[in-house]
A and B are shown apart, each in its own frame.
Chain A
Amino acid sequence: MNSHKQGFPRFQPVAEHALLVELGDTIDASINAQVRRLDAALSAAPFPGFTEAVPAYASLLVGFDPLVSDHDLVETAMTALLREPATLRPKGEPREVLVCYEGEFAPDLDAVAAATGLTREAVIAAHLAGDYSVFMYGFAPGYAYLAGVPEAIRLPRKPAPVRGIAAGSVLIAGPQCLVTTLIMPTGWHIIGRSPTQILREETGRPFLFEIGDDVRFRRIDRASFDAAAKLSARRSA
């Protein structure tokens, strides 16, 4: 199979049940839009034996049933779909995510301010001003990777992850922002906490975002956070 150093699309076999279609090797809005167009085209016209597609920043994992298809057939099908990319559904209203930047919810806010030469308030303002959209879900259930962190507060991740970070933590690293849904280790910078539930146990709509959705953060104070958190706890009980 193809394995050129340069040149996209690149098709990489994954065991006997998937093909990884790589459309680039950077985090970039236009490459991610290509991934989403290919994903939409595939879901509108799945090939025989298609099982599931997993979009990421710059690649799409395409699963197939080896009783029905193989890597070469899938590569041919994907090459044809790349020639006729789907148009993306029009964007709806941005999804709103509440965030409280106070006290113990924002253990890294001072360090981010120091590293960027901004005040705490300026870091918060920059974060709120970001133009976010969901590039992918990854890692763990409901972990939506938002691209769009403003240049002024882009920082590399910490050298080592910190364990036991609470669910709902608002994290930034480089151009990415993430609201955690589980207690997990992270090497990203923790600048706030959100009571907005992205992953819910309810069956109707278990995930708040679809890939491609725009997202806007809205600042709340501690009292509003506590009220919102109590409300969502009651809803999931």
Chain B
Amino acid sequence: MASAVIDIVQAGPLVTVQDGGRPRLMRYGVPASGPMDRGSFAIANAALGNADGAAGIEVSVGGLALECMEGSVTIALAGGGFRVTLGGHEHPSWIVAELKAGMRLTIRPGLWGSWTYLAFAGRLDAKPWLGSASTHGPSGFGGGRLMAGQRITIADAERRPARIGELDCPVSARPRHTVKVVLGPQDRFFAPETIETLLSQPFTLTDAYDRMGVRLAGPSLRPDAVLDMPSEPIARGSIQVSGDGVPAVLLADHQTTGGYPKIATIISGHLDGFAQLRSRAQVAFSAMSPQAAVEATRTRRLSQARFLARLRGD
């Protein structure tokens, strides 16, 4: 089958190859990585009828411009509200379209959102590391960061004309300004008033925001007890508080252990919406019980699976 050859004309920082990630290696210090907004990434692949977790490109607010040099391939875009032009025409930002030789695709930040996903009806040729093409930001291992001048190849590129058209952006893909957390695992290091502050006051995402996490600005959450804990494992979504009381939310490329206490952990169903907030956006946290969080996830995963199956045309 034919290949499509694509030249990267411009790529902002944090534009990387991602697939379903590399889970189950945290015991070696390796986070799962994968897309910052897993739901939108899954929609981009499902809209093309691709396998779950097929490698695509995660585009940050730094934007991406590319030109198809040879061949043609059906592409899908999902995630955020970006400004998209294809072959000189403005397009909706959630779409399945045809990319043909000579056409330029540009993706620029639009009204909302931090991340969007470009998926291909074909196999993005990317270097795997430990079984996944996902880029691990701090090392650059995996498919890697995209750079201007780079050439990428889509093997077995297909045209899937029946899939072309605009995609619906589900409400669950919107940025989420109120985020549910489960307290802990180290909430015991904080006074009850400090927990109350976390749950009642708004926080602001700072510019210290990358794939490892985002630092928050807001009231101090200074730990109550003297910090003397051996490093403990960290999960994606942990809200870690440094000794001087500044919280940070740890995201896709997070460190796997840390010696600072984690006051609370964002439930996984709200992480996509949190990651779509931009620097300087406000966020508020509210607590739910572990059991309520489990039940919320069961409901959400079921409806998400139905949505994706319908999109794939199963």
- A residues neighboring B (CB under 8 Å): 1, 3, 5, 12-18, 20, 22, 25-27, 51-61, 63, 66-67, 70-72, 136-145, 181-182, 184, 201, 203, 206-207, 211
Contact = CB atoms under 8 A, between A and B. Distances in A.
Contact of A139 (B130, B184, B256, B269): B256
A66 B138 contact: no
A17 B235 contact: yes
Contacts, number: 145
B29 A26 contact: no
Contacts of B294: 16, 66, 70-71
A66 B298 contact: yes
Top 5 A-B pairs, shortest CB-CB distance: A138-B257, A12-B185, A61-B233, A16-B293, A57-B230
14 contacts: A15-B268, A18-B235, A25-B228, A56-B233, A56-B257, A61-B232, A71-B294, A137-B28, A138-B231, A138-B258, A139-B29, A139-B256, A139-B258, A141-B28
Identify the interface centre among B184, B232, B237: most chain A CB within 10 Å of its CB: B232
Contacts of A66: 293-294, 297-298, 301
How would you classify the secondary structure of chain A's contact residues: helix, strand, loop or mixed? loop
Given A57-B231, A71-B290, A138 B297 contact: no
Given A13-B185, A139-B256, A201-B129, A67 B301 contact: yes
A61 B230 contact: no
Contacts of B293: 15-16, 66
A25 to B, nearest CB: 6
Given A14-B182, A52-B23, 4 more contacts: A13-B182, A16-B182, A20-B184, A137-B29
A51 B233 contact: no
Contacts of A26: 230
B50 interface: no
Contacts of B138: 140, 182, 184
B30 interface: yes
B230 A27 contact: yes
Interface string B260-283: 000001111100000000000000
Nearest to B27: A54
B118 to A, nearest CB: 26
Contacts of A57: 230-232
A13 B184 contact: yes
Contact of B141 (A13, A14, A25, A201): A201
B296 interface: yes
A200 to B, nearest CB: 10
Given A15-B266, A206-B130, A140 B29 contact: yes
A13 B290 CA distance: 7
B136 A141 contact: yes
